[in-house]
Amino acid sequence: MREERIAEKSAERAEWRRLYDMIGKLLFDHGLEPSPGNFEMCHRYLSGRDGEFNAMIDRAIAKEGGLNETVAAAIAARLDSGLSTDELSRIATEAQGFLEEMSSILTRSGDEARDYGQALAHEAAGLEADGSPALAVQKLVGLTRSMIDKAQLAEEDLRRTEAQMSVMRKDLAAAHHRANSDPLTGLPNRRALDHHLRNAFEKARRGDTPLGLAICDIDHFKQFNDTHGHQIGDEVIKFVGSSLGRAANGDVFVSRYGGEEFVIVFERAAAAGAMTVLDKIRAAIAARELKVTHTGQSLGKLSFSGGLAMLNIQDSPGSILKRADAALYQAKQLGRNRIHAAD
Query: 3-class DSSP state for residue 215?
Result: strand
Locate all alpha helices (DSSP H) within the chain, ordered by sequence.
2-29, 36-47, 51-64, 69-79, 85-130, 133-179, 190-207, 221-228, 230-245, 271-286, 317-333
Q: What is the 3-state secondary structure (H, E, C) of 77-136?
A: HHHCCCCCHHHHHHHHHHHHHHHHHHHHHHHHHHHHHHHHHHHHHHHHHHHHHHCCHHHH
Cβ-contact 28, 206 below 8 angstroms: no
162 is catalytic: no
Q: Exactly one of 235, 260, 261, 267 is catalytic; which is it?
A: 260
Distant-in-sequence, close-in-space partners of 262: CB < 8 Å, separation ≥ 6: 187, 215, 216, 217, 240, 241, 244, 254, 255, 256
Q: Name the DSSP class of 186.
A: -
Q: Which residues are catalytic?
A: 260
